[in-house]
Amino acid sequence: MYLTIVSSGERNWNALVPELHCIVTAGNREDLFRLTQESMALALEDQPESEPQVRSLEDLDADLRSELDGSEEIIFLAPVEMNPVSLEIEQALEKAGVSQAELARRLGTSRSAVNRLVNPFYWGHSLDMLRRVAAALEAELEVKLTAKAS
């Protein structure tokens, strides 16, 4: 869980995750938390697994601490999980050298629908759509279920 500094303004909410250099603004508190957790996941995507180092305000840089006025809320948030299916589709597009717009054309759907498919926070992929994407990219689709160790 990462130390997150939350503040509210007249029109929006703000969050700062100093350790990950994430700054997020949203219209309400609920959206702020969701967007902050997504931002954290993206910031950590290419980093090796490591534990958060900032445990309290005292662990922050003195300059940052001096900017706080005490009205901020200090919370700890965890990044959300990214969907590996979306990441696989993105990699398949890159490997095939196909743009999202071209995939949309091949699928007979909108660019926004394809954008949703590659969104790492989208979890609504249907098996039918995955089959269509694989066919459009001339790729193989492999679905694998693995039993959990007991």
Per the structure, the count of domains in the chain is 2
Per the domain annotation, does 143 fall within a domain? Answer: no
Is residue 147's pLDDT more than 80?
yes
Model pLDDT, residue 149: 82
Number of other CB atoms surrounding residue 146 within 10 Å: 5
Model pLDDT, residue 106: 94
Q: Return phi, psi of residue 99, to 5°.
A: -80, 165
Q: What is the sign of the dihedral through the CA atoms of 140, 103, 86 and 123?
A: negative
User: How would residue 133 be classed by pLDDT, with cut points 50, 70 and 90?
Assistant: very high
Whether residues 111 and 70 share a domain: the answer is no
Whether residues 93 and 35 share a domain: the answer is no
Instruction: Give the structural domain span for 48.
Output: 2-77
Domain-terminating residue out of 77, 103, 119? 77
Is residue 150's pLDDT more than 80?
no
Q: Return phi, psi of residue 73, to 5°.
A: -100, 135
User: How would residue 120 be classed by pLDDT, with cut points 50, 70 and 90?
Assistant: very high
Whether residues 21 and 44 share a domain: the answer is yes
Model pLDDT, residue 10: 86
- Residues 40-93: tens digit of each pLDDT: 999 998 787 778 988 888 888 888 888 888 899 999 999 999 999 999 999 999
14 has which bridge partners? 7, 25
pTM score: 0.77
CATH number of the domain residue 45 falls in: 3.30.160.250
Is residue 136's pLDDT more than 80?
yes
